[in-house]
Structure 1
């Protein structure tokens, strides 16, 4: 194992190894368009996939900084689809109404 800070190299006896390559959400192109946190993740309203822009929803690796797993990405993808469907129904029911 090499310490990338000090450069020291050492052998470590292990029974197993879990490789973590790191994670950076690919959201730079969204800067100034959606609210991002300090790590670059899209900020969503708690319990939903709603972003800072009405009608825009976020899911998966760009929104989940805690779990970052395929299964949770699929789950939030389903949530985003349901949130989008609800949003479309909401704006559809408002068509033709005047204030």
Structure 2
């Protein structure tokens, strides 16, 4: 995917930049950026845009659970396909920590809802 992005003439990749604001009336029209924040050559930039996609990261933050819960080689928590259930009864995984494919806030929210419903059912079955 990196090669596709870098070779696309419609995409400009800005390295060492942090987005500090978005501008626009009803739709995003611009972004305020800081390039090389905290360095002697720090720059303030404003660019005109018609879309914005925020990527938070691609390494699941699951290390604390690895002694107990099964993960894949990258660190994503393994779940029973189609469910948020893990290898431990009563333990559910949701969001980016269990989703190596979509990694989107909206799908993370949906899987969080699924996990909450599964947890509720699990507790009800246990009489809790």
TM over 0.5: yes
Shorter-chain TM band: 0.7 to 0.9
2:115 is aligned, of 47, 64, 80, to 80
> What is aligned with 1:59?
94
Distance 1:13 1:46 in 2: 35
| RMSD of aligned Cα (Å) | 2.4
Gaps of 5+ in 2: 1-6, 14-52
More strand by share: 2
Change (3 A) 1:16 1:53: same
What is the CA deviation profile of residues 50-80 of structure 1, one whole-angstrom value per residue up to 9, with x for unaligned ones? 0111100000010000000000000000000
- TM-score normalised by length of structure 2: 0.58
Greater mean deviation of Cα atoms: 16-25 or 49-58:
16-25
Distance 2:80 2:72 in 1: 13
The structure showing larger relative contact order (alpha-carbon pairs under 8 Å, at least 6 residues apart) is: 1
Question: What is the DSSP-based 3-state SS (H/G/I as helix, E as strand, rest coil) of the residue aligned with 1:64?
Answer: coil
- TM-score normalised by length of structure 1: 0.74
Distance 2:9 2:65 in 1: 42
Question: What is the DSSP-based 3-state SS (H/G/I as helix, E as strand, rest coil) of the residue aligned with 2:116?
Answer: helix
More helix by share: 1
Runs of 4 or more, structure 1, over 3 Å off, are: 17-22
Gaps of 5+ in 1: 1-11, 94-99
